[in-house]
Amino acid sequence: MREDPCRRFAFGITIEDTQLRLWLGNRGFLAVTEPINCFEDIDGVISLFHVLGSVSTSTSLKGLGWDPTVERIYVGGKMQYKFTVGNEVFTTTRELATYSADYMVGRGTCVYEATDAKGKKVAIKDSWREIDRQSEGKILEKILASCEKKLGVEDFADAKRHFIGVRLWKDVTIDGASDETVNPVARDDHDGTWKWKLIDPKPILCERLHSSATGDVPNSGKLSAFLPAQLGIVGRKETRIPQRVHARIIFDDVGVTVKDLISLADSLSCLSGALKPSENRQE
């Protein structure tokens, strides 16, 4: 999920000694099942792999977290992506900012430079916003409408050019339904909160490096000398799990970062222009 925009969520399986767990990671939360003894609970193990196998029979593999609206391609030997937004398709040419996707839980914002079907350069922003928040495009639309109402024609035209141009924005849909993170506490008998467990600040870890290829069972009698524990207690009160919706916005403008400007005049002009929208909003 961190490196591949084709993934909406991901399953994982871990086995420690005889204990098997199923993991689910999406942009809203990370969850893990209670352990299954893979030697004694054979029926449970078979059921688990049967369900995962049944989900994987879909040609698009969307049940396993793959995004059918994104296609991985190779252009000139380099990996690029085709994003479908509404009825249009945009092909990426380079990454602009993807560091926000490093964190599994969060908005996972990725921004790419891309071209449309006619070769026009645009910027694509792919992210997961909170479901109760308005889209970025809608917010910008309201700001411009307010500026147009309060400013004259000439002042509004001057103010508008300081806002980045938006071509279109859409929430991602999969099979006609909005692409949203699941809400695991949405049952009628639950009050919508989640109880977080504390992390042990002094876990007992393996004393020696463990190679899964040898099949050794880790010795958990002492703290590991190779992997010092630097975990703090995550003390959180009951917190609502954020439900997020997958959204994309296409910008007409593809800018240059301030740090890449080599002219002092260009840097000052950029910083001065950035203050214009806030001045107009205050007025």
Q: How many angstroms separate the CA atoms of 131 and 146, rounded? A: 24
pLDDT tens-digit readout, 49-107? 888 888 777 666 788 889 999 999 998 889 999 999 989 999 999 888 887 777 788 88
Read off the pTM. Answer: 0.72
The mean pLDDT of the chain is 78
Rounded to whole angstroms, how far apart are CA atoms 9 and 28? Answer: 10
- Band the pLDDT of 218: cuts 50, 70, 90: very low
What is the average per-residue pLDDT within 199-203? 57
Average of pLDDT values for 197-224? 48
Q: Distance between CA 238 and CA 245 in Å, rounded?
A: 22
Task: Select from 121, 132, 130, 162 the least CA-distant residue to 144.
Answer: 162
Q: What is the structure's pLDDT at 240?
A: 66
Q: What is the mean pLDDT of residues 223-238?
A: 39
Handedness of CA 83, 126, 256, 277 (dihedral sign): positive
pLDDT of residue 115: 94
| 260 or 221, which is more confident | 260
Would you say 117 and 88 are in contact if contact means Cβ atoms under 8 Å apart? yes
Domains and CATH numbers, the chain: 15-62 (no CATH), 67-180+243-257 (3.30.200.20), 197-235 (no CATH)
Q: Is 168 or 234 the better-scoring residue by pLDDT?
A: 168
> What pLDDT, on a 0 to 100 scale, did the predictor assign at position 239?
56
d(CA 65, CA 25): 10
Confidence of residue 238 (pLDDT cuts 50, 70, 90): very low
The rounded distance, in Å, linking the Cα atoms of 7 and 104 is 11
SS3 102: helix
Indicate if the pLDDT at residue 174 is higher than 80. Answer: yes
Please tell me the predicted confidence (pLDDT) of residue 248: 96
